Amino acid sequence: MFAKYDDFLPIVEQLTKEGFKEPYDWDAYAQVYFPKAEELLAEAEKAEKEGNQEKACEFYLYVYRISRFPAPRSEKQRYAWQEGKKAAKKGMALRERPTREVTIPHKHGLEHEGKEIPFYYHLPPGTTKDKPVPLVVIFTGLDGYRTELAVWIEGWSQKNVGVIVLEIPGTGDSPADPKDITSPEREWSSLFDWIDEQPEVDHQKVALWAFSTGGYYAIRVAHTHHDRLAGVVALGGGCHHMFGEEWLSHVNHLEYPFDLANTLAWKWGYGDDLETFKKEAMKYSLIEDGTLDKPQCAKLLLVNGVNDEIFPIDDYYECLLRGAPKEVRFVKDRKHMGEPESFAIILKWLYQLFGIQASPVDQLKTLPAKCKY
């Protein structure tokens, strides 16, 4: 995702040499990345001054990113997030098919919540109110924010589909109160109200694709806003057992490369108080709050790897046992999100939803897996 493998080798060597282990010093962790990030940023600025937009774009799009993973919990990680956003915004604007950042009022937010919702908004060239396009709304995950999930924009643009990319509550720039069970509904209502006002969007073809932790919100929004979406895809999400104390007590040493339980606690507004989060997290369960028993649900596709060690596949079984019927595709012998097979499964499903005749292989080739410069 906008990265070059070779750039990370000296960073990994340094982290290994310094013996980074739990509990992590997140400021020290972020600092290891900064010299390379500053070097790449300087290259981007130089290329832009020289008029090489393609090169400048490529360098802008991956500075500071991994230094703020899995969440900007320290001062230097927060600095990395802010600087990374600035660079990514420049890179997105320089692309052959540019993407702009839009900020809208969070008009349904409560007094103590953020007042604005920032997101990436892309329309394919030639889009007008007389030639409206389908729209894919992408919910990001626990650690991949809009600066990362923007990798999907180019492929959708080439299929003449618009894209919105934004963060889920408790991550990135989401204004929603992460602890409040009902805050997601308010944020999505503000977002969908704005989408309804965009004449260049084909409002009969608005779909949502959510990744990982975003999949939890996809399942939720498919029930709470079933009338606002033509279809919803929850990739690698969860709904119930992901919040269980037993599961949260083991996930730090399974598939996820960081301290997953601690990061989830931080994301849901508990800061460093992991033990309290483990005791209270089940209140976010979509079984416990009755979401899965609601009678109406948007067309919903559940996709995940059977051997997921981040969110248990059992959660999707729970979805199937309640409420309206859903569509499901499990990927055998794969872990979290069922990569890479899951992507083609989802793209085909969305093509059918939009009435597009296309090959997922062609779209997957647009992912920036290799850098030119």
User: Which residues are designated catalytic?
Assistant: 212, 308, 336
| CA of residue 41 relative to chain centroid, distance | 24
| CA of residue 368 relative to chain centroid, distance | 17
Q: Please classify residue 75 by burial: count the beta carbons closer than 10 Å to its beta carbon, then call 0-12 exposed, 13-18 middle and 19+ buried.
A: exposed
Q: 218 near 207, Cβ under 8 Å?
A: no
Q: What is the CA radius of gyration of the chain?
A: 20
Sheet holding 162-166, edge to edge: 100-105, 116-122, 162-166, 133-139, 201-211, 231-235, 300-305, 327-331
Q: 234 near 215, Cβ under 8 Å?
A: yes
Q: 350 near 233, Cβ under 8 Å?
A: yes
| CA of residue 319 relative to chain centroid, distance | 21
